[in-house]
Amino acid sequence: WMSQSCGVVAFHGPMVAVEFAGELGGGVSGHFWDALTGKRSLWRIKGTGVLRCGDFPARGMVAGGCLSVLVTTLGTPYEIDTAGKIVFLEDVAERPYRLERMLTHLSMAGKLEDVAGVVTGSFNECETGAERDVVDVLADVFRNAPYPVVTGLPCGHATANTLLPIGIQAELDGRSGELRLVEPATESAS
């Protein structure tokens, strides 16, 4: 809401009560501080899978976050605007059938129609041994998407919770499975 209403860049990433209470590992710490201090202005984040390539790399503002939180904003003044955006989705400890229900709700609300692309982060603790897992659900929901859909960015409720700026321009390449941030999230302090 802050990004779309006030033009403020928000950051989806390590949480004070979780990651900072312990230790940031896997290069996440350096990435975090470099992004916030302006040392890292442009970067690439590689996903682990591609569900849809799209005809060309998609370009748009990054929007999104935790799927269960986004769905609860529908119909409120804080509802996410996804038109022309690269929508980032992730969640934790949700069963696949619940993820499918939330994604279907987003779709029925028109929030997956006019997007530039979709990229998912981790869906940690969402595998429950059910007949259909998260990958099956995502494949079903996005099977006819005309835009790129890349999965498995190391962002979200996971051990490697890479900082992802929300509210800046990015490019999503379905062929390489890569999200490229094409503008800095902060200005250098120097």
pLDDT in tens, 22-78: 565 555 666 666 766 776 666 788 999 999 998 889 999 999 999 999 999 999 999
Q: Please tell me the least confidently modeled range out of 113-117, 136-140, 157-161.
A: 157-161
Using the 8-state DSSP alphabet, how is residue 96 labeled?
H
Average pLDDT of 130-159?
90
Contact 112, 102 (CB under 8 A): no
Give the whole-angstrom CA distance, residue 18 versus residue 62: 24
Here the tokens at position 109 are: 């609300």
* Per-residue model confidence (pLDDT) at position 188: 58
* Per-residue model confidence (pLDDT) at position 190: 54
* Per-residue model confidence (pLDDT) at position 77: 93
Q: What is the identity of the amino acid at 132?
A: R
pLDDT in tens, 81-126: 999 999 999 999 999 999 999 999 999 999 999 999 999 998 988 8
Here the tokens at position 64 are: 């999104």
- pTM of this structure: 0.87
- Torsion angle (degrees, nearest 10) of CA 119, 124, 130, 134: 0
